[in-house]
Amino acid sequence: ETGVTQTPRHLVMGMTNKKSLKCEQHLGHNAMYWYKQSAKKPLELMFVYSLEERVENNSVPSRFSPECPNSSHLFLHLHTLQPEDSALYLCASSQDWTERGNTIYFGEGSWLTVV
Amino acid sequence: KQEVTQIPAALSVPEGENLVLNCSFTDSAIYNLQWFRQDPGKGLTSLLLIQSSQREQTSGRLNASLDKSSGRSTLYIAASQPGDSATYLCAVRGRSGSEKLVFGKGTKLTVNP
Across A78-93, average pLDDT:
94
Asked if A45 lies within 8 A of B41 by C-beta distance, the reply is no
Percent of residues, chain A, with pLDDT higher than 90: 71
Are residues B18 and B78 in contact, defined by beta-carbon separation less than 8 angstroms?
A: yes
Report the mean per-residue pLDDT for chain A.
90
Chain-chain contact of A101 with B49 (C-beta, under 8 angstroms): yes
Measured CA to CA, the distance from residue B104 to residue B64 in angstroms comes to: 16
Q: What is the pLDDT of residue B97?
A: 47
Could you report the per-residue pLDDT of A37-53, keeping only the tens digit for each? 998 788 999 999 988 88
pLDDT, tens digit, 9 for 90 and up, residues B34-84: 999 999 888 999 999 998 899 999 999 999 999 999 999 999 999 999 999
| Cβ–Cβ contact A97 with B under 8 A | yes
- Residue type at position B55: R
CA distance B7 to B43: 21
The per-residue pLDDT for range B4-31, each reduced to its tens digit, is 999 999 999 999 999 999 999 999 989 8
Prior bond of B8 cis (ω within 30°): yes
A 25-44 near B (Cβ less than 8 A): 40-43
Q: Nearest chain B Cα to A48, which residue? A: B100
- Is the pLDDT confidence value at A16 over 70? yes
**pLDDT of A103:** 82
At residue A73, the 3 state secondary structure works out as strand
The pLDDT tens digits of the residues spanning A21-40 come to: 999 999 999 999 999 999 87
Task: Cis check for the bond before A8: say yes or no (omega within 30 of 0).
Answer: yes
Q: Which of A4, A25, A43 to mutate to test the interface with B (most CBs of B within 10 A)?
A: A43
